[in-house]
Amino acid sequence: MKTSYTNWQLEKDEKQIYTLNLNKPDTSANVLSQDVLIELQSILDDMKKIPARALIFQSRKKDCFIAGADVNEFSQFDQSSTAYSEALQAIQLGQHVMNSIENLPFPTFALINGHCLGGGMELALACNYRIALESSITRIGLPEVKLGIHPGFGGSVRSNRLLGVFKAMNLMLSGRTLSVNSAKRFGLIDNIISDKITGHHFSHTVNQWLDDSLNKKDSLIKKIQAQHIRPFYLSFLELNFIRPIVAYLLTRLVSKRIKKAHYPAPFELINLWQLHAGNDDFMMKKEAESVAGLITSETAQNLIRIFQLQNQLKSLAQPSKKDTEDKPIQHIHIIGGGVMGGDIAIWCVYKGFTVSIHDQANEVLANLVKRANQFFKLKLKKKHLYQSAMDRLIPDINNNGLKKADLIIEAIIENISAKQSVFKNAEQLAKSNCLFATNTSSIPLDDISQVLTDPSRLVGIHFFNPVSRMPLIEIVSSNKTSQQSKTAALQFSGLIGKLPLPVTSTPGFLVNRVLTPYLLEAMELYSEGVPAEYIDKAAKQFGMPMGPIELSDKVGLDICLSVASNLSQHQNIRVPDTLTKWVEQGRLGLKTNMGFYQYKKGKSIKNKTHYQGLSLEQISNRLMFRLFNEAVACLNEKVVENDDYLDAGIIFGTGFAPFLGGPMHYIKHQGIDEMDHTLIDLSKDYGTRFNPVMGWNTLSSVL
């Protein structure tokens, strides 16, 4: 039998224990692409004829067992007439391979030495035993719903068989992934072993386990086999007359989070279980058909595209070989310890950096230490990790960190002369290779850098609020910013686990600029007497995860006012009087428990509405067309490089309905001319703010 294949290498030890190592060439992650599956099937066909004692699956990639099926192949299943049958064939191949593993006449082990997700987890589920190496990095799970599908290589059948309906559905419907320890507690993996036991050592360990199970009663294998025995009540839940009740409960839970019309996959999964649980073969057949249907749908194709865009942004943060030779950023100094500066400091410390933070006010720094303490206590359960994080945060009233830092981030009040004097001082005292960054939300970089002898070292690193939860940061550059500064900022975003979006230094950059007209239109509607609840409902019906009114309250009405006032100097937007009045009165939204909504214990109090005026569609049209119009303006002015970056920025920066694929994708799909005409109609009814911006007439050449 051959031992070396394109993707797989087969090893055998003297006890007839075989190890199949996956090492897909030219990629950093292993994925189950069609060629990997076809190759594996032929190896398995040969293996079933040989007298092996056991087979172990493992990976030769660092920190990655198998990351899933090949998402790039998914994106080829578009909506052409043959797409469904091609997808079905691909999925059935995956199922066939997993069934072949399950039917091998000797024990099989998945040695999970890194991320084990989606198709990778399905492979592990087809093995008799799942053993994970200790790791704080590894994530384990079945996150397919995030791509608009559900497990298709038999995973919905086998996870249900192993874990029972509630646990399996908990995992698959949410798409959440687990750490190694949680996966063990959950029952998804059988055992955790030291990360020292890899490769050859593991086949010895397996041999020992198999010997033990033959000789002694309390062997690990016996223990795992006992763990796998299904409690009676799990089979009870699969009885014909119980399943509809369970399915009803699951559907209710899922419906609280998402709408079937927007994200059908979780509902199809529940349906699949309700109709076929207990009949594994038939459920497998229907699983493949269901996934083939889903994967060729627009929703899944859009979600897959978003996943690819996310990877594109991530790759911008990857250092090249040359860059890695430069001295990395170690010490960060932050100036301004308010809402943003404080949160940025805490986040950077959490991600492993040493951070000194200066503020002109002592009490701000004292308050920051309290905030950090709470955050690290919540996030870092181990005492030494918590202590080390607290030690890395240095309150710095004398601004001493300025001289030592590799990166200085300014986050003081939004005032040009104050910011200029911060950087003027920094240029005199900081190390010559220190990178300067501002968190300004609206001041052009060139205005700030006027005071610098070397303006090329200034870049914008624009974080969003709340820093710990928002995945995106805008990397702002002007013509004067050097490529080196820009690259350093992009890489820094990767080091702190954020997605970087390169934008030009224009008012509002991308995210605030596109979001503001949408929020202001919601306020306009509110002033016209449309209830807040109804406005939010219209946006959510369109697919937004949160309505604009609730979002404004969450962001803070003072912040909305300051961004809108700034933008109104450059764009055709009007700041509603109500907003100005409320901010003057200190009615700032969630943080003062009163904004558009009243808040109790952080939750908005919403009333039932009996509004009879505009329809939900008319409202969502007004909201969304302001957003689309501004997005087209940004693309036309090249605030971002291309429509892909624009879509990614708006999705990760504002939460724009991911299943619609982003504003530009939506416009293209709906038809540019049709959208343009709707804007003209809206401008006739509601005024010049709906006038189509420059860029619509040339849009077809860029999309």
Please say if 674 is a catalytic residue.
no
Nearer Cβ to ligand NAI (439/485): 439
Please say if 389 is a catalytic residue.
no
652 in Cβ contact with 471 (< 8 Å): yes
125 in Cβ contact with 102 (< 8 Å): no
Q: E strand or H helix at 627, and its extent?
A: helix 616-636
Question: Using the rule CB under 6 A, which residue among 425, 465, 482, 541 binds ligand NAI?
Answer: 465
Closest distance of CB 451 from ligand NAI, Å:
14
Cα dihedral 557, 559, 562, 567 sign: negative
Angle in degrees, 0-180, between the axes of helices 511-527 and 557-568, rounded to the nearest 10: 110
Q: Which of 122, 521, 524, 630 is catalytic?
A: 122
**Positions in 537-576 near ligand NAI (CB under 6 A):** 559
Nearer Cβ to ligand NAI (378/413): 413
Nearer Cβ to ligand NAI (161/358): 358
Burial group, residue 370, by CB count within 10 angstroms (0-12, 13-18, 19+): exposed
Please say if 144 is a catalytic residue.
yes
Rule CB under 6 A: is residue 440 a binding residue for ligand NAI?
yes
Closest distance of CB 411 from ligand NAI, Å:
4
Q: Which of 94, 114, 119, 589 is catalytic?
A: 119
* Binding-residue total with ligand NAI (CB under 6 A): 24
User: Which residues are CB-contacts of 340 (< 8 A; sequence separation ≥ 6)?
Assistant: 411, 439, 463, 465, 467
Q: Which region among 10-18, 220-228, 320-328, 407-415 touches ligand NAI (by CB under 6 A)?
A: 407-415
Nearer Cβ to ligand NAI (50/361): 361
Query: What is the Cα–Cα distance from 255 to 253, expressed in whole angstroms?
Result: 6
Rule CB under 6 A: is residue 411 a binding residue for ligand NAI?
yes
User: Which residues are CB-contacts of 293 (< 8 A; sequence separation ≥ 6)?
Assistant: 84, 268
Closest distance of CB 341 from ligand NAI, Å:
6
User: Interface mask (CB under 6 A) for ligand NAI, residues 236-275, using x and -?
Assistant: ----------------------------------------
Residue 17: closest CA among 106, 137, 115, 134 = 106
Measured in residues, the chain has a length of 703
Q: Which of 144, 287, 427, 524 is catalytic?
A: 144
Helix (H, G, I), strand (E, B) or coil at 193: strand
Other C-beta atoms lying within 10 Å of the C-beta of residue 617: 11
110 in Cβ contact with 117 (< 8 Å): no
Question: Using the rule CB under 6 A, which residue among 114, 118, 341, 589 binds ligand NAI?
Answer: 341
Q: Which of 69, 247, 389, 430 is catalytic?
A: 69
User: Interface mask (CB under 6 A) for ligand NAI, residues 419-438, using x and -?
Assistant: ---x----------------
Alpha-carbon 684 to chain mean position: 40
Closest distance of CB 342 from ligand NAI, Å:
7
Nearer Cβ to ligand NAI (215/428): 428
Closest distance of CB 418 from ligand NAI, Å:
5
**Positions in 346-375 near ligand NAI (CB under 6 A):** 358-361, 364
Question: Using the rule CB under 6 A, which residue among 141, 337, 401, 517 binds ligand NAI?
Answer: 337
Question: Using the rule CB under 6 A, which residue among 226, 229, 378, 413 binds ligand NAI?
Answer: 413
Question: Using the rule CB under 6 A, which residue among 104, 339, 369, 397 binds ligand NAI?
Answer: 339
CA atoms within 13 A on the CB side of 392: 22
Angle in degrees, 0-180, between the axes of helices 557-568 and 548-555, rounded to the nearest 10: 100
**Positions in 296-335 near ligand NAI (CB under 6 A):** 335
* CB-nearest residue to ligand NAI: 338
* Secondary structure of 120-180 in HEC code, one letter for each residue: HHHHHHHCCEEEEECCCCCCEECCHHHHCCCCCCCHHHHHHHHHCHHHHHHHHHHCCEECH
Question: Which tokens go with 237?
Answer: 């839940």
Query: What is the Cα–Cα distance from 294 to 303, expressed in whole angstroms?
Result: 11
Please say if 474 is a catalytic residue.
no
User: Which residues are CB-contacts of 488 (< 8 A; sequence separation ≥ 6)?
Assistant: 329, 407, 435, 459
**Contacting residues toward ligand NAI, per CB under 6 A:** 335-341, 358-361, 364, 411-414, 418, 422, 439-441, 463, 465, 559
Point out the residues that are catalytic. 69, 119, 122, 144
